[in-house]
């Protein structure tokens, strides 16, 4: 019952995975043809050696003909040298193909992930995507290398050895009718048992990666709340599950070699036993027995090498399925089929939300509902609300990190879903809630905003973002190194550098997602003044999300969100008078009298 279910599952799973492998090998068709020819020639050279050995014994040694021994020995030497040269060439070619496929798959997964929206990234999860682009690709690459360099020659050797064995002595070759099916049955049973375990193993690797990322990223929180033992227990549980599955797989794989060797040695014993009787009765020459024994060993080795494919294939096929799942997932945010071209005079920069709503996949209720809002060039719009009101989600709709579920978001009257993504992204400068810098230099990070920006433009952006002083104080200035994540800078410095990066872009819409929270009031005030006086502040619309009323009160307009709806909008004084939700936020931070 269980075996039948496993076989059905295997049949259902393997077809698309094998299709992925066929697609990956398409660019290497010529190399594969050359490899097949080389492996066939190598097999012929190898198959000739036992026959030549039999000829030396029967026509040279037993006849006392030294000249014949020498001539056949020269032929054997030439065949052996040819086999070695072909083996080296085939191994080199196999490595080139396997490593090329690994490179192509990693590139395909990386490029596909780059096209994903936040929805797909959340669907798969960062740990799983990392595992799929590294460990899963490595499993396929290893399988291909083993298959192309060793397994692909097994059919040539196995079938050739069967034919040569029958030529040597047909009655004795009947031993193959027992040994080969027995060995094939053992391999099939091991594969059927191991496939579900390999699928579970890859999922458990994802889980261990996830826990490691959580515990490394949240190390300060874990220590601050003395949760070391709890987190150790969580990791121990996931690690124990991974270890248990690995041991079960290892036990199955440990049966492979002893079973193959038992069949091989049993076949050799039976061969010597029956062959000796046939030699004694004069039905078979001595050399034929020697050659037959060599062919039997080659057949067993061929089956054993082929069985290595079946021990590695289940895990590689599971990995191929996981990679195919990523490649076959269409991004929910895509370029339009018929994009709208930019107006002759360029985009004016008037953004409008008309009845916009958004619901996260699987959520029971929308996070944004019926938002109608106009944002004009040169206007600073602030968005405030309680935690979970949908402020960050609202900002993510502008660059189409998500697409609206209902309603329409438009630029100058054109639905943003009709704009090419590159055009839309080129108009927007985003400063995310989490300030993130990439490894490289300060200049490298700033030019993420605009690659062709001059050094003067970089310094101007740093001046507006109030980052000029501490960058100029560094010995290397703009060439100063930045570690991954910008961990060699403080939180406030990272925020200012990410703001400068967005300003370098010279956007028509600047999105600041709680990007001033790490700044003191004086630095924040100077930054606001410099931004307002800059070309970006005068020409671009600025949408500022924040929690501190002091950071938002000077905006041209403040929008108050509550449970995904706009419950008030206007200037600070107007909202104090007319919006209870805003008054409550203000009162929670400081007295109304001090702000009036």
Q: Mean per-residue pLDDT for 578-591?
A: 82
Confidence (pLDDT) at 60: 62
Q: Mean per-residue pLDDT for 217-239?
A: 84
Top pLDDT among 195 and 335 is at 335
Top pLDDT among 151 and 245 is at 245
Dist CA 130 CA 135 (whole Å): 8
Q: What are 311-356's pLDDT values in tens digits?
A: 677 778 878 888 998 998 888 888 888 888 888 878 888 999 999 9
Q: Mean per-residue pLDDT for 78-104?
A: 90
Terminal Cα-to-Cα distance of the chain (whole angstroms): 77
Q: Where are the domains of the chain?
A: 23-327, 351-595
Nearest to 71 by CA among 81, 50, 56: 56
**Sheet with 380-385: strands ordered across:** 428-431, 509-513, 541-545, 380-385, 557-562, 565-570
Query: Could you tell me if 301 and 261 are in contact, meaning their C-beta atoms sit under 8 angstroms apart?
Result: no
Which of 100-104, 254-258, 439-443 bottoms out in mean pLDDT, i.e. has the lowest?
254-258
Percentage, residues of the chain above pLDDT 90: 28
Confidence (pLDDT) at 127: 80
Q: What is the DSSP letter of 519?
A: S
Question: Is the alpha carbon torsion for 583, 588, 590, 593 positive or negative?
Answer: positive
Dist CA 408 CA 415 (whole Å): 6
Percentage, residues of the chain above pLDDT 70: 91
Residue 589, token pair as written in the block:
């931070």
Top pLDDT among 423 and 309 is at 423
Residue 28, token pair as written in the block:
């290497």
Nearest to 312 by CA among 227, 433, 190, 408: 190
Same fold, 23-327 and 351-595: no
Mean pLDDT for the chain? 83
Dist CA 378 CA 400 (whole Å): 22
Domain 351-595 belongs in CATH node 3.40.50.300: yes
Question: Is the alpha carbon torsion for 126, 130, 132, 135 positive or negative?
Answer: negative
Confidence (pLDDT) at 395: 92
Q: What are 514-554's pLDDT values in tens digits?
A: 888 778 888 888 998 898 888 888 888 999 998 888 888 88
Residue 132, token pair as written in the block:
């799929």
Q: pTM of the predicted model, to two decimals?
A: 0.70
Nearest to 264 by CA among 342, 180, 205: 180
Distances, alpha carbon 520 to alpha carbons 214, 496, 550, in Å: 30, 12, 11
Task: Give the pLDDT band of residue 10 (cuts 50, 70, 90).
Answer: very low
The pLDDT of residue 175 is above 80: no
Q: What are 348-387's pLDDT values in tens digits?
A: 889 999 999 999 887 888 999 999 999 999 899 999 988 8
Q: What are 279-292's pLDDT values in tens digits?
A: 777 677 766 777 77
Contacts of 525 (CB under 8 A, 6+ apart): none
What are the backbone dihedrals phi and psi of residue 24, each rounded to the nearest 5 degrees, phi first?
A: -65, -30
Contacts of 458 (CB under 8 A, 6+ apart): 443, 446, 447, 478, 500, 504
Top pLDDT among 561 and 307 is at 561
Q: What are 24-75's pLDDT values in tens digits?
A: 888 999 999 999 898 888 888 887 777 777 667 666 665 666 776 677 678 7
Query: Could you tell me if 548 and 589 are in contact, meaning their C-beta atoms sit under 8 angstroms apart?
Result: yes
Query: What would be the CATH architecture of the domain defined by 23-327?
Result: Up-down Bundle (1.20)
Dist CA 24 CA 141 (whole Å): 11
Q: Mean per-residue pLDDT for 129-141?
A: 89
Contacts of 77 (CB under 8 A, 6+ apart): none
Q: Cα–chain-centroid distance for residue 231?
A: 26
Query: Could you tell me if 541 and 351 are in contact, meaning their C-beta atoms sit under 8 angstroms apart?
Result: yes
Q: Mean per-residue pLDDT for 150-168?
A: 77
Confidence (pLDDT) at 6: 37
């Amino acid at each position: 019952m269980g075996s039948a279910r496993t076989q059905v599952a295997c049949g259902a799973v393997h077809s698309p995975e094998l299709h992925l492998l066929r697609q990956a090998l398409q660019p290497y068709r010529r190399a594969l043809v050359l490899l097949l020819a080389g492996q066939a020639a190598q097999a012929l050279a190898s198959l000739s050696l036992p026959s030549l050995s039999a000829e030396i014994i029967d026509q040279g040694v037993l006849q006392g003909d030294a000249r014949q021994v020498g001539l056949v020995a020269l032929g054997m030497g030439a065949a052996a040298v040819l086999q070695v040269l072909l083996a080296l060439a085939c191994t080199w070619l196999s490595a080139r193909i396997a490593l090329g496929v690994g490179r192509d798959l990693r590139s395909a997964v990386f490029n596909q992930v780059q096209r994903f929206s936040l929805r797909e990234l959340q669907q798969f999860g960062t740990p799983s995507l990392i595992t799929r682009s590294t460990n899963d690709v490595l499993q396929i690459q290893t399988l291909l290398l083993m298959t192309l360099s060793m397994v692909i020659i097994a059919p040539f050797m196995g079938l050739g050895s069967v034919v040569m064995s029958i030529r040597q002595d047909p009655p004795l070759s009947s031993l193959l009718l027992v040994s080969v099916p027995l060995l094939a049955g053992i391999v099939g049973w091991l594969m059927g048992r191991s496939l579900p375990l390999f699928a579970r193993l890859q999922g458990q690797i994802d889980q261990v990666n996830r826990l490691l990322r959580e515990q490394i990223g949240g190390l300060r929180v874990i220590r601050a709340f003395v949760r070391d033992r709890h987190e150790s227990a969580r990791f121990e549980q996931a690690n124990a599950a991974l270890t248990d599955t690995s041991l079960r797989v290892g036990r199955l794989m440990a049966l492979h070699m002893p079973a193959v060797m038992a069949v091989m040695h049993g076949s050799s014993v039976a061969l010597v036993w029956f062959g000796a009787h046939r030699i004694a009765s004069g039905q078979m020459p001595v050399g034929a027995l020697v050659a037959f024994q060599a062919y039997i060993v080659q057949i067993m080795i061929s089956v054993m090498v082929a069985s290595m494919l079946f021990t590695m294939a289940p895990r590689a096929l599971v990995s191929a399925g996981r990679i195919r799942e990523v490649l076959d997932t269409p991004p929910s945010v895509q370029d339009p089929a018929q994009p709208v071209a930019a107006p002759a005079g360029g985009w004016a920069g008037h953004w409008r939300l008309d009845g916009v709503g958004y619901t996260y996949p699987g959520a029971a209720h929308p996070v944004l509902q019926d938002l109608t809002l106009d944002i004009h060039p040169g206007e600073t719009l602030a968005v405030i609300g309680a935690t979970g009101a949908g402020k960050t989600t609202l900002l993510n709709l502008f660059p189409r990190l998500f697409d609206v579920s209902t309603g329409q978001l438009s630029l100058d009257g054109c639905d943003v879903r009709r704009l090419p993504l590159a055009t839309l992204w080129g108009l927007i400068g985003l400063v995310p809630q989490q300030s993130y810098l990439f490894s490289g230099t300060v200049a490298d990070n700033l030019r993420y905003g605009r690659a062709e920006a001059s050094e003067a433009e970089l310094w101007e952006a740093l001046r507006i973002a109030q980052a000029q002083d501490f960058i100029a104080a560094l010995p290397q200035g703009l060439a100063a190194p930045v570690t991954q994540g910008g961990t060699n800078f403080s939180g406030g410095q990272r925020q200012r550098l990410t703001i400068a990066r967005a300003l370098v872009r010279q956007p028509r819409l600047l999105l600041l997602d709680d990007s001033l929270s790490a700044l003191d009031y004086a630095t924040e005030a100077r930054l606001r003044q410099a931004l307002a006086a800059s070309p970006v502040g005068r020409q671009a619309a600025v949408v500022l999300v924040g929690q501190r009323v002091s950071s938002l009160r000077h905006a041209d307009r403040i929008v108050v969100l509550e449970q995904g709806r706009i419950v008030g909008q206007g200037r600070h004084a107007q909202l104090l008078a007319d919006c209870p939700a805003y008054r409550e936020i203000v009162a929670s931070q400081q007295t109304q009298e001090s702000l009036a």
